C-alpha cells in the first residue's frame, strides 16, 4: 500500500504530538502556588503563555503578543531530552546550551517540512533574546518562578540556599523585557528578604 503525501504529513504531526506529551513528565524545581507539589514543564509553558496575555500591556510597544505566546509554548520542548536546568546551578547551566541544541535537532525534526522550520525558529528566537518578543518572553519565563517562590514562603529558595543577589541577577533579565515587571520582581525580592524567605 502506498502512503499519500498528506498521510505522511499527518503521521509526522501525530508523532510530534505524541512526543511533546512527554513534557508533562519533566518536573521543575518550583512548587505550585498552593505548595502541594512541584510544577511540571507543560504546566509552566501554559502558565507563562497565559502571562503573556495577562501582562501584554507591560511589553514594549508594538510587541507581537501572539508570537510571544507561541514562543513560550515551544520554549521548553527541548527539556524532554535535556531535562529542566536549575538556573542557580552553574555546572548545569554550563552544559545546558549543548544539550538543548541537540534536543532541538531531534524533537523539531519530527515535524513535517514547513512546520519544523518555523517552530524551530521560535525556539531559536527565544534563546537569542534579540527581539522585543523574545526579551518579553524570557522576562515572563523568569518572572513566573519568582512569583511562585514569593507566594510559597520562599519555595525552593531556602531549600537550595539561593540568595537575594542570585535572584536579583535574574530580575535584570526581566527588566530587559519589561521594566515594569522587573521593578515588581525587585519588590518581591525585597519583601521576601524582609519576611525571612530569602537570605541576603
Please say if the pLDDT value at position 131 is more than 70.
yes
H-helix segments, the chain: 5-20, 41-54, 65-74, 79-82, 90-108, 116-128, 132-150, 156-159, 164-177, 179-194
What are 88-119's pLDDT values in tens digits? 888 988 999 999 999 999 999 999 999 999 99
What are 145-191's pLDDT values in tens digits? 999 999 999 999 998 999 999 999 999 999 999 999 999 999 999 99
Please say if the pLDDT value at position 3 is more than 70.
no
**Sorting pLDDT into bands at 50, 70 and 90, what band is 200?**
confident
- Of the chain, the percentage scoring pLDDT greater than 70 comes to 98
**Sorting pLDDT into bands at 50, 70 and 90, what band is 4?**
low
- Region 23-49: mean pLDDT is 97
**Which of these, 142, 33, 4, lies nearest to 85 by C-alpha position?**
142
> What's the N-to-C CA distance of the chain in angstroms?
68
Please say if the pLDDT value at position 1 is more than 60.
no
CATH architecture under which domain 11-194 falls:
Orthogonal Bundle (1.10)
Residue 87's pLDDT is 87
- Region 2-20: mean pLDDT is 86
- pTM assigned to the model: 0.94
Mean pLDDT of the chain: 95
**Which of these, 55, 50, 109, 51, lies nearest to 77 by C-alpha position?**
109
**What does the alpha-carbon distance between residue 108 and residue 47 come to, in Å, rounded to a whole number?**
22
Q: Which residues of 33-69 are buried (b: 16+ CB within 10 A; e: fewer)?
A: eeeeeebbbbebbebbbebbeebeebbeeebebebbb
**Which of these, 15, 11, 185, lies nearest to 106 by C-alpha position?**
15
Amino acid at each position: 500500500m502506498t502512503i499519500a503525501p498528506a498521510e505522511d504529513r499527518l503521521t509526522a504531526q501525530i508523532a510530534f504530538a505524541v512526543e511533546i506529551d512527554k513534557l508533562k513528565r519533566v518536573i521543575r524545581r518550583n512548587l505550585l502556588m498552593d505548595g502541594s507539589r512541584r510544577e511540571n514543564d507543560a504546566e509552566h509553558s501554559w502558565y507563562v503563555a497565559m502571562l503573556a496575555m495577562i501582562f501584554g500591556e507591560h511589553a514594549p510597544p508594538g510587541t507581537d503578543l501572539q508570537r510571544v505566546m507561541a514562543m513560550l509554548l515551544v520554549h521548553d520542548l527541548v527539556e524532554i531530552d535535556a531535562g529542566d536546568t536549575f538556573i542557580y546551578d552553574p555546572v548545569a547551566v554550563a552544559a545546558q546550551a549543548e544539550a538543548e541544541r541537540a534536543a532541538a535537532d531531534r524533537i523539531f525534526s519530527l515535524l513535517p517540512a514547513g512546520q519544523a522550520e518555523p517552530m524551530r525558529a521560535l525556539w531559536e528566537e527565544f534563546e537569542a533574546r534579540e527581539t522585543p518578543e523574545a526579551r518579553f518572553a524570557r522576562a515572563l519565563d523568569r518572572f513566573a518562578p519568582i512569583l511562585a517562590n514569593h507566594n510559597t514562603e520562599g519555595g525552593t529558595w531556602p531549600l537550595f540556599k539561593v540568595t537575594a543577589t542570585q535572584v536579583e541577577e535574574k530580575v535584570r533579565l526581566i527588566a530587559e523585557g519589561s521594566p515594569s515587571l522587573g521593578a515588581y520582581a525587585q519588590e518581591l525580592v525585597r519583601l521576601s528578604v524582609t519576611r525571612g524567605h530569602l537570605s541576603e
